[in-house]
Copies of this chain bind each other. A is one copy, B any other.
Amino acid sequence: MNALFLDENLIAQLVRRGVVSDTFRRLTPDKKNRVYRVAIRLFGVYGYDGLAVDQLCKEAGISKGSFFQYFPSKSHLLEFVVLVFDDYLARWLAEIRQNEKAVLARDRLSYLYQSLVVNSRLFKDDERFFLFITSAMNHSAVTIEGIDLEHHFRDYVEEIIERGERTGEIRGDFDVEMTGYLAALIIEGLIRRQYGDRKLAQRETEEYLISFLFDGIKA
């Protein structure tokens, strides 16, 4: 499973939703991927407004006329990459849900964190896109109805918290939704640091996260 290559079935689905044209679907995989990769990079670096269709065409090696035969408009291009990413996230979460053998909530959170770090490596060159997506979802001019990337992620964290409360590992006097929100926030913040200038040792950060979250800062 790779976030950086397009799935035929997904594209067929997006054609049905009117996000991309059938012409796009019929293109060679190479050309489709070129457009996708360039779009991700440029959105990540320049944001929605900042991405110029002309530049994208030049970098992807297609003409402007072709672009608008693939996508009804620029906002559809954003919708396209967001939905592809969304699909990837969903599959990724399903996978880690299945694979996890750990029972304890703290182990599951560790696993989640590790998996995220691995993902951040996967997005090496496109790491800004990850940040762009979440911030775009919150306060972008272009709202894409029915999609909330944060939600996938937060749902899963909540799931862990809730389970921990049930098994008695996590205190029950906390609101699951709120705690899930804060925990997701912290995890995201640490990942953001991995992306940033400050490179941290993965193992230590993970232990830090767990200790901070579970034991608190009290002496």
Contacts and interface: CB of A to CB of B under 8 A. Distances in A.
Interface of A: 46-47, 49-50, 128, 131-132, 135, 139, 141, 161, 164-165, 168-172, 174-175, 178-179, 181-183, 185-186, 189-190, 193, 208, 212-219
Contact of A186 (B128, B182, B219): B182
Contacts of A213: 216-217
Contacts of A161: 217
A158 to B, nearest CB: 12
Nearest to A174: B217
Nearest to A167: B219
B212 A218 contact: no
6 contacts: A49-B50, A135-B139, A171-B218, A175-B208, A179-B212, A182-B189
Nearest to A186: B182
Given A131-B139, A218-B170, A182 B46 contact: no
Contacts of A179: 212, 217
B212 A182 contact: yes
Q: How many chain copies? A: 2
Contacts of A49: 47, 49-50
A165 B141 CA distance: 44
A131 B213 CA distance: 25
A136 to B, nearest CB: 11
A164 B190 CA distance: 23
A172 B139 CA distance: 38
Contacts of A178: 208
A215 B217 CA distance: 7
Given A186-B182, A214-B217, A216-B215, A50 B141 contact: yes
Contacts of A172: 219
